[in-house]
Structure 1
Amino acid sequence: MFQVAAPSPASPKPIPEQRRDAFFDNAKYLAIVLVAIAHSWAPLRDESRTLDAAYVLVYAFHMPAFIIISGFFSRSFDMRPDRLKRLVTGIAVPYVIYEVAYSLFRRHFGDSPDLAISLLDPLFLVWFLAALFIWRLTTPLWKLVRYPLPVALVIAMLASVSPKIGEDFDLQRVLQFLPFFVLGLHMKPEHFRLVRRRAFRILAVPVFAGAAAFAWWASPRVDTTWVYHRDSAQAMGHPWWTGPLMTLAMFGCAVLLSACFFAWVPGRDTWFTTLGAGTLYGFLLHGFLLWGSEYAGWYDAAWLRRPSGEIFVTLVAAVAVTLLCTAPVRRVFRFSMEPRMEWAFRKDAAAPPGSGSAGKSEQDGSPRERTHA
């Protein structure tokens, strides 16, 4: 009689890609704007106490906030081959490309024709890529130890009293900023939701105002180079014991101000939310604009030393870095930020079955994860 055909195996339904979290894209965009603005203030800060105080205030938390987010999105990193490939193509390769590019730019436009191209001594902004590469490689270790944040703080404190660490890969910064990465690595989404409550947002206003007042007071009285986290206490001319104390103080201050910053970041879609996917572009490319402005002598204009000039520089920096995060710029420079390098890896280094790009969130190490700086 009639034979019923066996049902064909149902084809697996593709898992929809998880939607990007608008809060984190907004936070990344606003953080990169603060980075660019603070860099644009550097040549002018000696002319204005108020501008210098604003510079110190922003420097106290903008990179820590960036690094906390970087740690948060590194939570699922392991030594799986596909994730190691993304680590190479998304961080190591851009590091090499932009270290060479910055060196050549400074050679030809910055009156440094004999500047050596060194992959061990990162120029300007490139240090962050070296640091992120090292931090992410150590992620499995920080998941293993029982007290990761105290251990990271001890390492940072020891680094602050170690003047002979050297400049290879800017290890002084790598170690002193390490606690912020480890903190982000062990944070959960509910921690970010906690600081975004209405009560905390209101409380953040007097906290930030107090920090601004302290920065204004400290500007002519305190060595503000502590905010860079790039030298030991002895190298800055201070007693060795001030290094650990300032490391703890700067960590507490940066975490508090970062929490205030996160409290004010909108969690809804805004006109700049999509720009959060291009912060690596804005981060690395705005350095050429900044150096170019200095080499061209634009900062020598006397009117820039007035409040109106400082406001003008601030607006130009914000607009410029915003444009550098847009889709057209990302398409042009994607070859250097997110290169396709299948030719460089063995075929058996692909992702294991069931771990393809479908269904991956940024936390899982999707290609989009590379775009935060």
Structure 2
Amino acid sequence: MAEAQVHRRPASGERPTPGKQRDAFFDNAKYLAIVLVAIGHAWEPFYAGSRTAAALYLFVYAFHMPAFTVISGYFSRSFDMRRDRLQRLVTGVAVPYLVFQIAYALFRWAAGDTPDLSVSLLDPWFLTWFLAALFIWRLTAPLWRIVRRPVPLALAVAALASASPDLGSDLDLQRVLQFLPFFVLGLCLRPEHFALVRRREVRIAAVPVAAGALVFAYWAVPRMNDAWLYHTDSAQNLGAPWWTGMLMQLAMFGCSLVLTACFLAWVPGRRAWCTALGAGTLYGYLLHGFLAKASRWWNWYDAPWVRTPWGAVAVTLIAAAVVTLLCTPPVRRALRCVMEPRMDWAFRPVHRCTAPAGGGGGRG
């Protein structure tokens, strides 16, 4: 997930500057969003059997990944092609992508989901799509900072993608382009914009807006194809005319943006017990996928008590607790070698140019 640090991580050999601290608001937002991601995956098996569960599922899916993407864009504002930032992109995004593509492939094969062991680096599986997308988005960040009206332009790209069934599945490009406007919006935001949504009147207004969205989701369950929320397919692949995809892109962007603002309005800005967990959301995001898939493959939801209302509540609490544990410092310490490796050995050393003895060189 997006780094919620006010300042970048020091490059190899660089001493950290004292006084640099993480922003508690963004760490809290990341933690709460990753909990919603895990809960959304836990609710998926209830979708077909309960209209209420389906409505909650649609409601959460309308904003949890857009919120992550907006925050990712916000913390990519300073990204450029400088050496230390490119190294961080490789070690913090590309390497975890490769590691978890392989880990998930091994897991699927061992669990019997696939008959043969195969690893495709161009076909993100389940949760790894976000890492592939983040890698691409950040590489394009310098471009979005120099164009006029970047958000409308990104919306146009997303709309065209939704009407292009021949994009193919490499790197989940359809989803990468359809989520692009949220990332570009994050690039354009400033601290004062987040301060606006955290005002008291906005928090109050967020309550009826969210309630209205829940009512609408309940109404939409039997009438709407939930695949629109995933942004993985073109309109034609969803059985709709091409122009419907363009309109749905605009509608979904507006809906997701409003609900993201409601979500952020209620995120606490002060340090809390969960603030430190915001630094480990990438761990929770990628690791909980193993349990989410295992629960389906090994029929954990077939137990009779799970299908009761109290069972659904218990599953929700278990999902929140598990992803919380996966974000804790002991898990981060154990897996930092693959999630945040230093990898100084993989990069050429920096050769600093020094002025020749005797100096001069200036204009006389």
TM (norm. structure 2) is 0.91
* Partner Cα separation in structure 2 for residue 124 and residue 331 of structure 1: 25
Match of 2:214 in 1: 212
Superposition deviation, residue 115 in structure 1: 5.0
Deviates more, 1:286-295 or 1:214-223: 286-295
Name stretches of at least 5 consecutive residues in structure 1 with no aligned partner: 1-12, 354-373
* Partner Cα separation in structure 1 for residue 233 and residue 156 of structure 2: 16
Aligned residue runs from structure 1 range 280-359, under 5 A: 280-348=282-350
Superposition deviation, residue 252 in structure 1: 0.1
Match of 1:181 in 2: 183
Superposition deviation, residue 19 in structure 1: 1.5
Amino acid at match of 1:145: V
Match of 1:67 in 2: 69
1:93-141 Cα shifts (integer Å, max 9, x gaps): 1000001100110011043122531000000000000000000000000
* Partner Cα separation in structure 2 for residue 159 and residue 116 of structure 1: 29
* Partner Cα separation in structure 1 for residue 17 and residue 117 of structure 2: 51
* Partner Cα separation in structure 2 for residue 256 and residue 124 of structure 1: 26
1:80-102 Cα shifts (integer Å, max 9, x gaps): 01110000000001000001100
Q: SS where residue 249 of structure 1 aligns?
A: helix
Superposition deviation, residue 73 in structure 1: 0.3
Q: SS where residue 269 of structure 2 aligns?
A: coil
Deviating beyond 2 angstroms after TM superposition, the runs of 4 or more aligned structure 1 residues are none
Q: 1:94, 1:336 within 8 Å by CA — same for their partners in 2?
A: yes
Kindly, what percent of the aligned residue pairs are identical?
67
Deviates more, 1:334-343 or 1:57-66: 334-343
Aligned residue runs from structure 1 range 109-124, under 5 A: 109-124=111-126
TM (norm. structure 1) is 0.89
* Partner Cα separation in structure 2 for residue 24 and residue 285 of structure 1: 21
* Partner Cα separation in structure 2 for residue 59 and residue 223 of structure 1: 13
* Partner Cα separation in structure 1 for residue 112 and residue 269 of structure 2: 42
Superposition deviation, residue 158 in structure 1: 0.2
Q: 1:81, 1:349 within 8 Å by CA — same for their partners in 2?
A: no
Which structure has more relative contact order (CA 8 Å, sep 6+)? It is 1
Aligned residue runs from structure 1 range 1-373, under 5 A: 15-348=17-350
Q: 1:82, 1:349 within 8 Å by CA — same for their partners in 2?
A: no
Superposition deviation, residue 251 in structure 1: 0.1
Match of 1:5 in 2: none
CA RMSD, Structure 1 to Structure 2 (Å): 1.5
* Partner Cα separation in structure 2 for residue 233 and residue 243 of structure 1: 5
Q: SS where residue 78 of structure 2 aligns?
A: coil
Name stretches of at least 5 consecutive residues in structure 2 with no aligned partner: 1-14, 355-364
Q: 1:281, 1:330 within 8 Å by CA — same for their partners in 2?
A: yes
Number of equivalent positions: 340
Superposition deviation, residue 349 in structure 1: 7.6
Q: SS where residue 235 of structure 1 aligns?
A: helix
* Partner Cα separation in structure 1 for residue 156 and residue 56 of structure 2: 29
* Partner Cα separation in structure 1 for residue 322 and residue 284 of structure 2: 8
Amino acid at match of 2:119: I
Superposition deviation, residue 301 in structure 1: 1.5
Amino acid at match of 1:190: E
* Partner Cα separation in structure 1 for residue 344 and residue 218 of structure 2: 52
Amino acid at match of 2:166: K
